[in-house]
Structure 1
């Protein structure tokens, strides 16, 4: 069995931080980005989420130097990103970025050499990743003849084959079946364990919540929320689930809004300063309480709240 030139599970990279600092971009009168700011730290998986057109791909392209920003700066390890640094970035675009009539292995070896690898190292690394991602039987197929899922695997190898110091992946899980999603998740975690900062966008919010160390939510070209998944889920209004009498007990309680009811199970949202113990006391006054717990929203619910705020503004 062949393996990449260096095992991604064993070889560490020099630690560094990718910084996106107040990046702005306009297309004519359309504001694509406005002072977009965040960082991706060494050994971290950072999920970049937002609606279509929110600015995720534009941000990634500016980080790569494909687009020029109108303002702001991209830094790697404290220094402005230059051409030499960009060669160390592994990029996976959302759209197909491969030569359709070129054979998969031949193309990957070629791309590795473009990043400065010798022919021998490029072949060894390519063969290792082809084996790792289960493409050995398709290595000599033209890319256009591969399934969409296998094309996605080839694109991932193209981002990994030159042993990048940073990974920037635009919708890497698109078109993958559950087994392939698990495999790609494992590979990305291995890269983070080596110390590689991994930035990726995805609309699969349950996957982002499960996989990422930190998440950034983008709206209209701005970062509107970022942090650890647990931190984000604990932010915002407090919601409580009370299983007891019907919801009449909550009517008129100051700072309390009934969000949902199902039989004796009531979900309420507390305004800032409202006392959860007063809520419990009111519920107990109405009858026995079988459950009294805090409800933490999923990442998908947080995202929907952000989108609804956009629509209301």
Structure 2
């Protein structure tokens, strides 16, 4: 099976390519240097030349706060880029996996959002990702839309790396404690995406590691696992203002994964423990 993976220079794209090669797929990882996904002609030519069986679209403009000021750039990547790739996939009859986000929901309440709940993004980043979802559904039949949250992986920056970096110089930190969701380890998610791509169980799915937490509790667990002595003070969203509105409820139900015969990802605590070991081994 031949697969094109966009966003190879990012956390998820990198791990999908690594896992795909382990499984013996003919896998082509592309980053911004290899292909400008906002150039329709280049995208069409590239996909027609490669003739993949599937495209796993991990590339995205994910700078949530910057998106509020740089709307044109965010729209170009998340909407136009997705449209060009999905259209090109249809032309060569390739399956299409689109990585979406918890930010498509308004983030209120306490119940986990299901795949059938209405999307209502409150920030520009979430809006562009939802526009991408709608385009994928309108342009192609053989699609998977995978909504994820709180991503961390070895190849790139994330909350865990930030916390560990701050722990080198700080013994006390204030972290938001009223935003709830599930961390997603790209190593685990990559396996699920490749399990999915060989099937025809198309549709929208939620996929993150099991269990819910908040950022402050997540930070405490990070320091505990890494053996760092840092006091974490839980603060409110209002005490840490940001340009883009953060959802207070990013809980997502993953029942559909199981219903469709896919394995749920391990608990976020298990994922965090393995990830910290991976980071420590990388330093050695």
- Normalising by the smaller structure, the TM-score range is under 0.3
Give the structure with higher Rg (CA): 1
Greater share of strand = 1
Report the TM-score when normalising by structure 1: 0.26
